[in-house]
Structure 1
């Protein structure tokens, strides 16, 4: 008869504490990724009832690019200037399909490229959470799923923009 392997109550409590703490950290990372993405993604994804059009980028500063807005949706009015976030995905002299944020002149890229680009923070959060899940929770399969999902999202966004 082999001796039974028993864990002391202290080690079970430590294991549960580590699981709870690392699970909370991983969940908070993912929630932060969704939160950071949703501010832009909601406008790019839920375009019904929003002003849609194109922006011909004429000027780019350190953080923003501007240009005249030409409406594509009914009820939308042309504007002399709207503001797009300056990123790798926006270049001076190009025209982009955009959705205007309500009550202002801020615009968000529309279409598949805009949607994928809006979810880039979630892609980074998925990669970071995969490290926490693998190292802190010792769940390698779940960590691989998170890491591959984040990599796929970031790769798709890179290729789309």
Structure 2
């Protein structure tokens, strides 16, 4: 090294590596969150955008491993009575209980409506928030943002579980 030239600092040698880490981990975190929204939106759109959808109640008569069935009694105008509809089995669905539901267009599948249905439809986003918090904390080293993401995920999952009970 030439004595008149200053030694390269450690920060200037690691700057490209740090930038690459920030960009790549930021992209992974965003991808996880987009996947959570995408996974939730399939059900959330039916629950949140109810205009023109068939609304009613279902009394659960039988439950299998993954689904429960029962007769559909319409509440909204234009909805038709059905002898049997299919509902995903979750922690809050019990045989003999009656639930407010919305029929998915073009199917015999129903989803819970009301606050419980909205919260339950966003459960995949809650899991994505938890996973993204780990990526943000470890990869981006943004602990406050990671705590915010993780806390939001836990709050959403807890609220969904409580609403379904």
What's the TM-score once normalised by structure 2's chain length? 0.92
Q: Which residue of 1 aligns with 2:124?
A: 121
1:156–1:4 distance in 2 versus 1, CA, 3 Å? farther
Describe how 1:12-161 pairs up with structure 2 within 5 A.
12-161=15-164
1:7 Cα deviation after fit? 3.9
User: Displaced runs of 4+ in structure 1, greater than 2 A?
Assistant: 3-10
Residue ranges of structure 1 left out of the alignment (5+ in a row): none
Question: C-alpha deviations, 1:100-135, integer Å up to 9, x for none?
Answer: 000110000000001001111111110110111011
TM superposition shift of 1:96: 0.5
CA deviations on 1:120-158 (whole Å, 9 max, x unpaired) are 111111011011101100111111110111111111111
**In structure 2, C-alpha distance between the alignment counterparts of 1:19 and 1:94, rounded to whole Å:** 50
Structure 2 residue runs without a partner (length 5+): 1-5
Counterpart in the other structure of 1:11:
14
CA distance in 1, matches of 2:11, 2:25: 21
Q: Distance in 1 between matches of 2:11 and 2:76?
A: 67
Report SS of the residue matched to 2:94.
coil
Aligned-CA RMSD value: 1.6
Aligned length: 159
SS at match of 2:157: helix
CA distance in structure 1 between the aligned counterparts of 2:69 and 2:11, rounded to whole angstroms? 64
TM-score, L = length of structure 1: 0.94
Q: Name the SS for the 1:43 alignment partner.
A: helix
Aligned-residue offset at 1:10: 3.8
Separation of aligned partners in 2, 1:5 and 1:43: 59
